[in-house]
Amino acid sequence: MDQNMEAARLRKLASFHILDTPPEREFDALTALAQRLLDCPIALVSLVDDHRQWFKSVQGLDVRETPREHAFCAHTIDEPDLLLVEDAHLDARFDRNPLVRGDPRIRFYAGVPLRPDRDGFTDNLPGIGSFCIIDTRPRRLSSEEVAILKDLAAVAESLLRAHATAQEARDLAELAEERANILDGQHRLLRQAEKLAGIGSWRLSLDDQHLEWSDQVYAIHAVPVGALPTLEEALAFYSPNDARHLQQCFGRAARYGESFDFESRLTTADGRARQVRSIGEIEFRHERPAAIVGVIQDVTDRHLREEELRHSASTDSLSGLPNRASFERRFAETLASAEVQAEPVALLLIDLDGFKVVNDNFGHAAGDEILKAIARRMCDGCMTNAFPARLGGDEFALLVTRPRDCADLPAYVQQVLDQLQVAITQDGETRRVSATVGATLAADPSASQAELMRRADLALYQAKRHQRGSGRIFGLDMPIMRAGADVI
């Protein structure tokens, strides 16, 4: 590895302030989820330091770090997408590795490099670590399992960014406390830093429950500076559950001197929903608890960015529809619910006809517009109550759960065929794009998700053989024809 690139990578890793920190519930929940979803004994969030790999979260091992020279993850960080070792005994890079020949006797490894964004660092650096799964037997991953692993790695990157942001906020709060102590000796926070960082300070007296707010706390609550709220009035900005949690934090701080740090939703005086982070600790006077002091920070923007990242991990960027991974999760959830509630479910697989001709003759920009138009139509009209997804290329899927649509599936398929017709004109030449649909009804409770996909795919194949732009339902030897086309 280029020494300059490695030095920059190590500086980026250090900027996250994550190495040698205690275990965190969010990271551990993620690796535990990987264990369950991917049926593997070992799952890790591994960070590759200059001489070691250190585990922020580890399931299935009793160690927190191993030498870098033995680490599979040290290879993963140089990969653009995924390192997959189906059998380490057959891989010349690893067949003599002590972790293969000795404990934990690795045979299978799959790791996704972690490259969370960080200001001041380029995107072409190697990863700072990996999100990986390990097995003691050779195995292969399906495309669905690879997608799950990548989705979990994307969440791990979001957690790393969130950890760094939280650490920066703690650093800022500590700096504010130090400077405030110099100015007054009794105050813990710096007013100027409050305004710059959107952090407000507060103080709750233990003797009389008197509550004091800094100007920024008033701003966060959208309340005019002036009248001091009572504790009851302040807690009313939170949901009942969050208000109870805050009261419990106050009680533990007063009785045991425990500090607290948590996030919650807050509804401002003008009705806006905000995400806030609250930190509190006990203040002593004459060696006795006198008050609870703390800070509150509006972290709505950061929270929304993290939500957007989670959304982007399950959304097709071009069409705006759910992607294949999101569709497969929703399909599984829908089938499970339908089995319990005895509700109908229909699956439609959709291929576009004439799309390649548009791409070849009019260019990819025109093809993209066709895909966007199809996506808009799949969210409108007869498909308003269905769950649409883009599986890839010009392949789409639709989950239908409304009873009246499932009850007359041929009529519904015909409506879909009619609605998914578009035409595009460029330089006086018009090209038409329509849809061919294969459908199946989940009438058999024992039919698996894979079996229903197979049935719908077979119906789609039969429809294409009969006539493109038509539809077919599995088990019914009857073609479904469409009507006319629109122009975009």
**pLDDT tens, residue by residue, 404-451:** 999 999 999 999 999 999 988 887 788 889 999 999 998 777 788 999
Residue with tokens 């419990």: 248
Domain 186-304 has CATH 3.30.450.20: yes
Grade residue 138 by pLDDT with cuts at 50, 70 and 90.
very high
Q: Please report the pLDDT score of residue 168 as a whole number.
A: 83
Per the model's pLDDT, the better-predicted residue between 138 and 443 turns out to be 138
Catalytic annotation present for 20: no
Q: Please report the pLDDT score of residue 148 as a whole number.
A: 93
pLDDT tens per residue, range 445-468: 778 899 999 999 999 999 999 999
**pTM of this prediction?**
0.43
Grade residue 216 by pLDDT with cuts at 50, 70 and 90.
confident
Q: Please report the pLDDT score of residue 181 as a whole number.
A: 61
Q: Give the pLDDT mean for 18-46.
A: 93
Tell me how far apart the alpha carbons of residues 130 and 122 are, in angstroms, rounded to a whole number: 18
Q: Looking at the predicted structure, is the pLDDT value of residue 486 above 50?
A: no
What φ, ψ does residue 386 adopt, rounded to 5°? -100, 175
Looking at domain 3-160, its CATH architecture is: 2-Layer Sandwich (3.30)
Q: Name the nearest CA neighbour of 292 among 248, 235, 254.
A: 254
Range with the poorest average pLDDT among 14-18, 94-98, 301-305: 301-305
Q: Please report the pLDDT score of residue 348 as a whole number.
A: 95
| Residue 471 CB contacts under 8 Å (≥ 6 apart), including other chains | 410, 413, 414, 416, 417, 436, 437, 438, 439, 463, 479, 480, 481, 482
Grade residue 182 by pLDDT with cuts at 50, 70 and 90.
low
Q: Please report the pLDDT score of residue 488 as a whole number.
A: 45
Domain boundaries, the chain: 3-160, 186-304, 316-473
Grade residue 183 by pLDDT with cuts at 50, 70 and 90.
low
pLDDT tens per residue, range 472-485: 999 898 899 986 53
Q: Please report the pLDDT score of residue 447 as a whole number.
A: 82
For residue 20, the number of C-alpha atoms closer than 13 Å in the C-beta half-sphere is 3
Q: What is the CA radius of gyration of the chain?
A: 28
Q: What integer best gives the mean pLDDT of the chain?
A: 88
pLDDT tens per residue, range 57-103: 999 999 999 999 999 999 999 999 999 999 999 999 999 999 999 99
Fold match flag (186-304 vs 316-473): no
Please pick, among 49, 353, 394, 418, the residue that the annotation labels catalytic.
Answer: 394
Please state which of the four CATH numbers 1.10.260.40, 3.40.50.12780, 3.30.70.270, 3.30.413.10 is assigned to the domain occupying 316-473.
3.30.70.270
Q: Looking at the predicted structure, is the pLDDT value of residue 336 above 50?
A: yes
Q: Name the nearest CA neighbour of 97 among 64, 75, 128.
A: 75
Q: Looking at the predicted structure, is the pLDDT value of residue 53 above 90?
A: yes
